[in-house]
Every structure is written in structure tokens, then in C-alpha cells.
Amino acid sequence: MQHFDAFIGSVTPGCAFITGNLFNAVWSVSDTANVSVSNTQDSTRGNATCKSATAGAVTVTATFTETDGSKVSNTASLTCN
């Protein structure tokens, strides 16, 4: 099991923001047959679990919907042996 967190990574110059974890990001993986990821609203949110070995790296994606409806996402990789 590997835990992932989503954070605010950048902002327009001159704008202030508070760095914080984006608890309402939606998690997904590119290989749902071999890896699961939790979207449960508890301490398991962002936990990716290997169900079996993968042929290569699996993409783990966090997607956050802004207040204007636009979506922001970023990815990480996970390999299961």
C-alpha cells in the first residue's frame, strides 16, 4: 500500500493562498484490475493498494474541481511487484 496526498502546487503570481491538502480530490488509477485507490472520506483516502503485480508503472491521478467548475489534476506513478 502506498499513500498519496494532493496539495495546491502553484498559484498565479501575486495571489495569496494557504498551502493545504486537497481532501476532496478524486483519486483514480490507470489499471483498476491490479491497483485500487480509496476515495473514502477517512484516513484511507489516497491509499493505493496493489492487488497483483503490474507489467509497468500504473498512473495514479488526483482530480480537483475548482469553484468555477474547471478541473485540475496531477499524476504520480506506482509499480507493483
**By residue range, what is the domain housing residue 48?**
2-78
Each residue of 9-59: pLDDT tens digit?
666 677 665 555 567 889 999 999 999 999 998 989 999 999 999 999 999
Q: Where residue 72 falls among pLDDT bands split at 50, 70, 90?
A: confident
Question: pTM score, two decimals?
Answer: 0.80
- CB within 8 Å of 62: residues ≥ 6 apart: 4, 6, 22, 25, 26, 27, 46, 73, 74, 75
The C-alpha torsion from 27 through 32 and 37 to 39, rounded to 10°, is 50
- CB within 8 Å of 50: residues ≥ 6 apart: 1, 34, 35, 78, 80
**pLDDT in the model for residue 29:** 98
What is the tally of structural domains in the chain? 1
